[in-house]
Structure 1
Amino acid sequence: MLQNTNQLPTDEQITALSNFLAKTVQHGIEGSSDFVSTSIARDFIVFIRHHGRLTLGEMLLAMQLLETLLIKCREKKDNTIDTDNLGTALVCIFIVTLKFARDIPYRNSWWALQFNMNLQTINESEVVILKLMDYKMWIGIRSFIRFYFRIFSV
């Protein structure tokens, strides 16, 4: 059964999202398995949930966009996203997700402050990610539901 995606994710859902994030990154970015684990992914997602107040739907959208980004990079044989900039790329995925999903998203300066990152780096990285994705952010409802069931194997 599809859960309410307008609520904050539960701890159980965070675990499933963390497993997906770790596996997706390990599969999509060479060398990332040396430092990306489910527990590190969980810490990142819990931080995002707490500070950004992301709903389950927003988290799922971000995970689906991450998967799409890595697929596009593989198709284009583009190694722009690598172990050196993975953290920035992940933050930017959440930035573009919220800009797409919310009427009033957090500003990039808010994200820079939360993650102690350089604002210019975030701004430039956001554009790079959007270009890699060919500026295609839309995910249809059927695709979203299939993705939901892939993550939660319900």
Structure 2
Amino acid sequence: MSEFTVVPTKQLHIDNQVLSHINHLRLDNISSLEMPPKQSLIKSSSYYLMKLLSNVLYQQETSLDQQLKNESLFLKIKSFFSYIYDFAQLSGSELIYTIYLVQKLVNSEIQDFIEDNDCIMIADSNIGTTLICAVILAMKILRDPTEMKSNIWWAKSFGMSLELLNQSEMEFYMQLDFNVSLDEQQFIRLYSQILSYSEV
């Protein structure tokens, strides 16, 4: 009989904050993300995203104007995700990944603004395009290519030219420096944060 050497395996380090998020999440919450999201997840995701975008778009507004614009933005985002849920079979994981990509875009643009005093690309007028690009990218990352809707479908569904959609998608991707990876700990942390908005 030959001898074998036992090689210690590297332990996965999970920070305490992520561990507390994991403890609050039930196993059925995580496993359900492969399925289409429940309306409660769409609602809490829309609220989370509205808060994120509002901080960039409406920070100069009066509190009353900001509240009115937030309500309108929330409804637009929720309607968008509901549409994608109905017609592109959006999964819970894709929804979370979409939120992550938009959040990453916002953070990238804020950083660019601080460093260069350049204007931020996200505006009221292009929120829809931003969301479309984020969803497309999330689906391209998480789906089998045979299950993907084509960019032609997306352009037709949202009344955009294919050229504009392709250009916007590339600009979105470039703004993220082609780095769209999301590790498990980030995913769990973000998912838990989004779920915390379900009580709102």
State yes or no: 1:84 paired with 2:120: no
State yes or no: 1:28 paired with 2:71: no
Q: 1:116 corresponds to which residue?
A: 159
Choose the corresponding residue for 2:101, options 65, 68, 74. 65
Residue segments in structure 2 that go unaligned for 5+ positions in a row: 1-25, 114-118
Residue segments in structure 1 that go unaligned for 5+ positions in a row: none
Quote how far apart the aligned CAs of 1:120 are.
Answer: 0.6
CA RMSD of aligned residues (A): 1.9
Alignment of 1:41-52 (within 5 A): 41-52=77-88
Bigger radius of gyration: 2
Q: Which amino acid aligns with 2:144?
A: D
Residues 22 and 41, structure 1, Cα contact 8 Å, conserved in 2: yes
> For 1:89, what is the secondary structure of its paired residue?
helix
TM-score relative to the length of structure 2? 0.72
> For 1:16, what is the secondary structure of its paired residue?
helix
State yes or no: 1:126 paired with 2:158: no
Q: Which amino acid aligns with 1:113?
A: K
The whole-number CA distance in structure 2 between the counterparts of 1:84 and 1:16 is 23
> For 1:37, what is the secondary structure of its paired residue?
helix
TM-score relative to the length of structure 1? 0.92
Could you say which structure has the greater relative contact order, defined with CA pairs below 8 angstroms and 6 or more residues apart?
A: 2
The whole-number CA distance in structure 2 between the counterparts of 1:103 and 1:86 is 27
Residues 30 and 83, structure 1, Cα contact 8 Å, conserved in 2: no
Query: How many positions carry a matched residue from both structures?
Result: 154
The whole-number CA distance in structure 2 between the counterparts of 1:102 and 1:125 is 21
Q: Deviations over 1:57-103 (max 9, x none)?
A: 10000001110110001001151222222211111111111111112
Quote how far apart the aligned CAs of 1:30 are.
Answer: 4.5
Q: 1:8 corresponds to which residue?
A: 36
